[in-house]
Every structure is written in C-alpha cells, then in structure tokens.
Amino acid sequence: MTTTLPSVFQKYRIMLNSAMRAQLSTRGLAVYRMLEYSMGWADVEGQPVDAVSGKALRPTLCLLACEAAGGDPENALPAAVSLELIHHFSLIHDDIQDRDETRHHRRTLWAVWGEPKAIVAGNTLRVIADRSLWDLIERGVPYRSVVTAADLLTEAYLQMIEGQYLDLSFEGRPDITLDEYLTMISCKTGALIRCSMNLGAVIGSGAGEAVEAFRECGRSLGFVFQIRDDILGIWGDQKATGKPVGADIVRKKNSLPIVYSMSKAGGVDRAELQAIYRKASPDGRDVETVLDIMDTLGARAYAQGLASAHCTRALETLEAIDVPRESRAHIEEIARFLLVREH
C-alpha cells in the first residue's frame, strides 16, 4: 500500500475539469466568479490560478464504476460533474457551520465574501449540479436510467444533509454511541461516495447484480474514507494535513476515536475526558491528556482496524461479478490508498 495518489485519479481529470468549467462559464454574475475561486480555478480577484482543489474522489469513482460495469465513462460525465459540484456545495456550507477560515491553504468562501453571499453561492452550485445531471440525456443514456440516476442522487444528498444535521446535533454530547456515530458518517460522508459507484454502475450497465455490488463497494469505501479522516484529524502529520496533532481535540469534535474512548473509558479517565470536552477551549495540556487516554484504550488501533475491515469488505463485494482486470486493479488501489492516505 502507498500514500501516493493512485494514477487513476489522473485518468479522467482533463475531461472532468473541462466539463465542470463549462457548467460555470455561461453566466456573468459575480457569484460564478466566487464559485471558480472555491473550485481552485481563480484567485480572489478572479484571475486564473491552479490551486489545490481536492482529489475528485467521487467523480473518479463514478466514471471508474461506469467503465468497470461495461459502459463508456464519457456517458457518465454529467453525473460525475454533479457529484463533484454537490460535494463542493456541501464544503461551502460546512465551512460556514464549522467556522473554518481556510481550506486547502486558502481562505474559505465565507471568510472572503461573508456568510450571506457564501450561502447563496453554495445553493447556486447545488442547483447547477442538478441541472448537469440531465445532460445524461444528450449523452444517449436511456431516459429510464436518467430518471433512476436523478432519484439516486437526490436521495444521496438528502442523506448527506441529514448526516450533517446529526453531526451538528452531536456537538457537546458525551454520550454518543458507536452505532449512532457510524450511522451519522454513513450519511454525511458515505452517501455521496456510495452514490458515486451506484450511479456509475447504473449508467454503465443499467441494472442487475453489478449495480448492487458497486453500491455496496461504495458504501464500505465511504466508511474507510471517513474513519481515516478521523484518524488524521487527531494523529495526522501537520506537514501533510496542514493541521497540528490533536486538531480535532481542540475543536472538541466527536470523531470516531473520541466516541470510542468515551464509550470505553471508566472512572477517572472518563471523568477527565468529559471535563475537557466541557471546556470552552481545551489547551495543549488537555490535548496531551486526551491523547494519553486514547493511547491507553487503543483508540487509534481500533479505528484503523475498523477502516481496514471496511476496505476488505469493499473489495469482497466485487468478487461475485465480472469486472475487467484493469478496473478491478484501479478500485483496489483506490481502496488501499484511502486506508493509509496522509491527507
């Protein structure tokens, strides 16, 4: 396994970027320049740049699943664009809710233009994503499959929003169960990743056993992605993540290692964890205390073990169907990368 981004992420990058830019370039309002900034294509003044804009995991999985299911990935391009734009819409709103002022080492949209305009920009992006999906018809995708795709995507981002609500409702609660937490991340993070492979398979093959297999593969990859994210939020290398060790502890974020530790700690350790998470602003000593308790409880090993189990499950779901050797190798490479990635 390697922490290097798999080469398959470059396979579709050019046509994906071109299709996404086309969705934002037809209107002249300033809100579209804001969106180009948020996508990493322009600076604050609207001048072209090539900033870091993410891995494009969801659209890559969509196009790869389409090809693996026997279809032409270019036919799934409108769906891939929709997935990435909805993902970016969620990031714009998440940054407002979490008060995050930087993302990918750049100021966030609300930090530059204020909350009201950032909210409008996010909503605009979501509508553009909806409109993009219907371009599947122009690609020759059967109308029945297009309607199925629209229904799947709408349900997925509804679940994503429901998951965000659950995440916000968990703030300040010391009694969240592991089952509650896993349900939340299966919605907030998992829904779009699951939908990515589901949509690709629907467009590539129409229906049947393959669609079910790719959906379940995506479901498990969603858990791998978020659990690894939780690990990096506490133990990640600052040079890679841009955040100090223990960043999620300072934010009092109820991520998986914390939820696990709260559920397993007893006596003095549990009381200490709860006291720290009741503080307005935990300090460096508090972070060290929480890290020591989690180390004693094996929280990091538990989280990585759970992610590894879901990685195995993701690959097992594809064993019963016919997948081209190259596509299977790409999916395996992505799964194992998600398990060990450093940012």
| Residue 69 maps to a domain | yes
The parent domain of residue 176 ranges over 8-340
Q: Is residue 260 part of a domain?
A: yes
Q: Give residue-wise pLDDT tens across range 147-189.
A: 999 999 999 999 999 999 999 999 888 889 999 999 999 999 9
Q: Is 2 contained in some domain?
A: no
Domain assignment of residue 185, yes or no: yes
Q: Are 65 and 201 in contact (CB under 8 A)?
A: yes
| pLDDT at residue 54 greater than cutoff 90 | no
Other CB atoms within 10 A of residue 116 CB: 10
Asked whether residue 23 is assigned to any structural domain, the reply reads yes
Q: Which of 7-11, 94-98, 206-210 is least confident? A: 206-210
pLDDT value for 24: 86
Instruction: Return d(Cα 20, Cα 138) in angstroms, integer.
Output: 16
Q: Do 111 and 98 form a contact (C-beta atoms < 8 A)?
A: no
CA distances from residue 9 to 57, 186, 207 in whole angstroms, order as listed: 8, 23, 26
Q: What is the pLDDT of residues 189-229, one digit of tens each?
A: 999 999 999 999 999 987 788 999 999 999 999 999 999 99
Q: Convert the pLDDT of each residue in 21-30 to its tens digit.
A: 999 876 778 9
Percent of the chain with pLDDT over 70: 99
Beta bridge partners of 102: 107
pLDDT tens sequence across 99-116: 999 888 899 999 999 999
Residue 1 placed within a domain: no
The neighbour count for residue 277, using CB atoms within 10 Å, is 20
For residue 58, the domain's CATH number is: 1.10.600.10
Helix H or strand E encompassing 133: helix 115-133
In a domain, residue 206? The reply is yes
Query: Over 70: is that where the pLDDT of 1 sits?
Result: no
Q: Look at the chain and report how many structural domains it folds into.
A: 1
Query: Do the domain assignments include residue 3?
Result: no
Q: Mean per-residue pLDDT for 230-241? A: 88
- Give me the pLDDT at residue 255, please: 95
